[in-house]
């Protein structure tokens, strides 16, 4: 299994608005691409960062599914996220493979 992880540090002042948008708009749109079969939203309990830190993990069965997302969808979704919450968050990504 391939896990694509977005780690987002969001300002506390817009945290509730952001979380609602992520759950009702952003994640459903990403899942609708068909590139991932499941996801999890996690929050970091003891983050040293200011703001609230979340990890969103999207699971794909193969690297090819992730590559489809990367080539055809990722930059569009990043641009929408930036436009929606300009200068209110920091994000970085990690691509991982499950160890069997």
CATH number, domain containing residue 79:
3.30.70.100
Q: What is the DSSP string of the chain?
A: -EEEEEEEEE-GGGHHHHHHHIIIIIHHHHHTTSS-SEEEEEE-TT-SSSSEEEEEEEEESSHHHHHHHHHHTHHHHHHHHHHHTTTSEEEEEEEEE---
Range of the domain at 47: 2-97
Question: What is the number of domains present in the chain?
Answer: 1
Q: What tens digit of pLDDT does each residue of 3-56 get?
A: 999 999 999 999 999 999 999 999 999 999 999 999 999 998 887 878 899 999
At 48 the pLDDT is 80
Global model pTM greater than 0.75: yes
């Amino acid at each position: 299994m391939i896990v694509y992880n977005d780690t987002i540090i969001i300002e506390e002042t817009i945290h509730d608005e952001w979380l609602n948008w992520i759950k009702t708009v952003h994640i459903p749109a990403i899942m609708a691409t068909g590139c991932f079969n499941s996801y999890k939203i996690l929050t970091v309990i003891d983050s040293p960062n200011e703001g609230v830190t979340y990890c969103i993990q999207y699971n794909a069965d193969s690297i090819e599914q992730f590559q489809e997302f990367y080539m055809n969808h990722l930059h569009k979704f990043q641009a929408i996220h930036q436009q929606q919450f300009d200068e209110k968050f920091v994000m970085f990504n990690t691509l991982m493979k499950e160890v069997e």
